[in-house]
Amino acid sequence: APALVARLAAAGKRLGILSNSSKRKEWSLRELPKLGFSADHFVAAAVTTSGEEAWHALGAEWRGKACVWLSKKDGDGVSDYLDGTGVGLADVERADFLLASGTNVVRDGASVLAVDCEQSGDVTPFEDLFSRAIARAL
């Protein structure tokens, strides 16, 4: 696939990417070389991810609000995800909504709870959170 993309770009074709990645666009462009692709072969304005679109929606629709965030583990493109959206973190009693972009960590502003349900299948750590969220109609 990288060779085909290189040939298409060399032929003057304008290439974009539509990805279901929960990460933002810039992170995805930085990761392309690890997959054998050159980011220069793609038109940056024609690259988007579901994470990028969610980030824009958070800023447009939820600015000034707070959430409990279920996310992936910390790392590049995760821990800074809410930056610039105007969305803060709060415990479930004060949150305006739940944001789910992963299942490894629960962030509520006061704590970061690591959860291992993907490996263990144990969803117990979520039961209390979801019960309290349901009680508040979040």
Domain boundaries, the chain: 2-50, 64-135
Handedness of CA 51, 55, 57, 58 (dihedral sign): positive
Which residue in 61, 55, 62, 66 sits closest to 21, CA to CA?
55
Which residue in 105, 103, 91 sits closest to 133, CA to CA?
91
Mean pLDDT, the chain, rounded, equals 92
Q: How confident is the model at residue 72 (pLDDT cuts 50, 70, 90)?
A: confident
Q: How confident is the model at residue 77 (pLDDT cuts 50, 70, 90)?
A: low
Span 88-95, average pLDDT: 96
In the DSSP assignment, the letter for residue 23 is: S
pLDDT for position 116: 82
Q: Taking 90 as the threshold, does the pLDDT of residue 11 lie above it? A: yes
Span 7-18, average pLDDT: 97
Q: Taking 80 as the threshold, does the pLDDT of residue 76 lie above it? A: no
In the DSSP assignment, the letter for residue 138 is: -
Interatomic CA distance for residues 78 and 62, integer angstroms: 19
pTM, rounded to two decimals? 0.82
**Which of 25-39, 76-90, 97-111 comes out lowest in average pLDDT?**
76-90
pLDDT for position 127: 92
pLDDT for position 12: 97
The torsion region of residue 137 among left (phi > 0), alpha (psi -120 to 50) and beta comes to left
pLDDT for position 125: 83
